[in-house]
Amino acid sequence: MRNVLIAVLIALSALSIPAMAQEKVTKGDKNWAALEKVLDDVNNQWLCAASYHKNKAQECVNFRAQYWADEFFEIYPSGQIQTKAEMVASQSAGASAHPDSAPGTGPNPQEFKLMAVYGNVALATDHTIFKSIDSGGNLAVTSEARVLRIFVKENGKWRPASAALVGIEKPK
């Protein structure tokens, strides 16, 4: 019985050490603002947006495949769920059909806002505008979504873990 009690105490202390070592993040303080900037950058990297744009579509797919957490998945406005493997396959097929990626095309996140932090999990929102080149060769908005973005901290680095997109309909 004593050995079981010692094992339980060791297990509990091992679980509490990472929690104690973690810096507290409270909404509105400097740590919150700093984390929001870090996650906004992670978000732009994830989407190959802004300064992270890649001219070859497959380069972005390859980057995401390494950057996303292993159990990454997305939920689309239609309700469809895609796993990381399904997304990589789908995006690779798209990149094969359309290998070049013009600056400004694809997802363009705006209004990034950190909403909650639970230890090594952070929840944020953004307004993502999807753009492509139209038949006239101009950059055009194809759709918009409000997105819940979920990040996990693994081995000291924040990584994309999941996203849920809610479509924004344009007024008629």
Q: Where are the domains of the chain?
A: 27-167
d(CA 52, CA 106): 12
* Most confidently modeled range among 122-126, 136-140, 167-171: 122-126
Q: Which of 20-24, 30-34, 160-164 has the lowest mean pLDDT?
A: 20-24
Decide if domain 27-167 falls under CATH 2.160.10.10. no
Give the closest residue to 125 by CA, choosing from 105, 141, 145, 142. 145
Count other C-beta atoms under 10 Å from residue 85's C-beta: 11
pTM over 0.85: no
